[in-house]
């Protein structure tokens, strides 16, 4: 049995690329201008027959139909294709590549790993893994495969097409599951790098501000520094706890 809390739902909505859900459901998408378009998934209220009204937005991992004026996240796409709410979460967990972290295991004592919010991950440089593209070929003719980017040619020249594959798993979750000690150490070092970066940035740029502005600039840099420091302290304690647990098991 899989169990989900609100944080799990938020993470799954952020981390499972909408393109992976479209591929799983067989939803086709086409290049329309600078974005990719799908047919509106709300078939009951919008009998969409043409691409160009519903677009995918990678920054929010959603689709938006301008005819219906509705936005759809990955759970919405699954539910509009026959999945119940819980089943949709289970399928997202499966597509995330880390199904085991949601499994109920009452008889097994598991080590607790601190969670990072989206803002905290961005602060220390653990960027999301949505839509990581692995380019493997370039060709002149438009491919049948939907996974390609366009290299627009100069005036009088033909466009080229870059073919790519996308990751089917989240490497951060894989690292947490396979090597929790390595994950904790990595986050701890990222926090130390972030603290050093903000300290150096302040020292190098403080003279560019007037005396009245410098205090606000210093406060902003100090807040970022302290936020990274607090994350680091949390993960440092988690790493110590992990080592103590290993020692007991040994």
Q: Give CA–CA dist 58/22, Å, rounded.
A: 13
Between CA 120 and CA 11 the distance in angstroms is: 13
Across 19-175, the runs of DSSP E, i.e. the strands, are: 29-32, 35-38, 54-57, 62-65, 70-72, 133-139, 148-151, 160-166
CA distances (Å), origin 195, targets 5, 115, 125, 204, 223: 31, 19, 12, 14, 10
pLDDT at residue 106 in the model:
47
Partnered with residue 70 across adjacent β-strands are 65
pLDDT at 21 over 90: yes
- Range 12-27 average pLDDT: 90
Mean local confidence (pLDDT), 170-176: 71
At 148-166, the pLDDT tens digits run 777 776 766 777 888 877 6
pLDDT of residue 198: 93
Higher-confidence position of 148 and 80: 80
Where b means 16+ CB within 10 Å and e means fewer, 65-80 reads beebebebbbbbbbbb
Among 149-158, 217-226, 235-244, the range of highest mean pLDDT? 217-226
Q: Can you give the pLDDT at residue 11?
A: 86
Say whether domain 6-108 belongs to CATH 3.60.20.10: no
pTM above 0.85, yes or no: no
Q: Of 217, 234, 170, 223, which is closest to residue 194 (Cα–Cα)? A: 223
Quote the pLDDT of residue 167. 63
Mean pLDDT of all residues belonging to the chain: 84
Counting residues of the chain whose pLDDT is more than 70, the rounded percentage is 88
Q: Which residue has the tokens 């003719």?
A: 141
Look-up of token digits 């047919």: 39
Identify the pLDDT of residue 91.
92
Residue that wins the pLDDT comparison between 188 and 129 = 188
Model pLDDT, residue 170: 62
Three-state DSSP state, 163: strand
């Amino acid at each position: 049995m899989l169990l989900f809390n609100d944080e799990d739902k938020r993470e799954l909505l952020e981390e499972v690329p909408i393109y992976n859900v479209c591929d799983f459901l067989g939803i086709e998408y086409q290049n329309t201008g600078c974005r990719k378009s799908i047919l509106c998934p709300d078939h009951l209220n919008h009998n969409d027959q043409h691409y160009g009204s519903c677009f995918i937005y990678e920054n929010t991992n959603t689709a938006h139909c301008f005819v219906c004026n509705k936005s759809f996240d990955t759970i919405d796409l699954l539910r509009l294709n026959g999945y119940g709410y819980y089943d949709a979460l289970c399928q997202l967990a499966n597509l995330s590549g880390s199904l085991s972290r949601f499994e109920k295991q009452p008889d097994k004592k598991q080590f607790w790993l601190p969670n990072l919010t989206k803002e905290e991950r961005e602060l220390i440089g653990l960027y999301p893994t949505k839509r990581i593209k692995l380019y493997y070929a370039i060709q002149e003719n438009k491919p049948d495969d939907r996974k390609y980017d366009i290299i627009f040619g100069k005036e009088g020249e033909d466009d080229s097409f870059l073919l790519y594959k996308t990751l089917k798993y989240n490497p951060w979750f894989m690292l947490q599951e396979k090597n929790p000690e390595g994950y904790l150490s990595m986050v701890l070092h990222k926090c130390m790098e972030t603290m050093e970066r903000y300290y150096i940035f302040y020292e190098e740029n403080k003279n560019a501000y007037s005396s009245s502005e410098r205090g606000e600039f210093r406060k902003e840099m100090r807040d970022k520094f302290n936020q990274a420091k607090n994350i680091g302290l949390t993960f440092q304690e988690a790493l110590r706890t992990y080592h103590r647990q290993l020692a007991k098991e040994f």
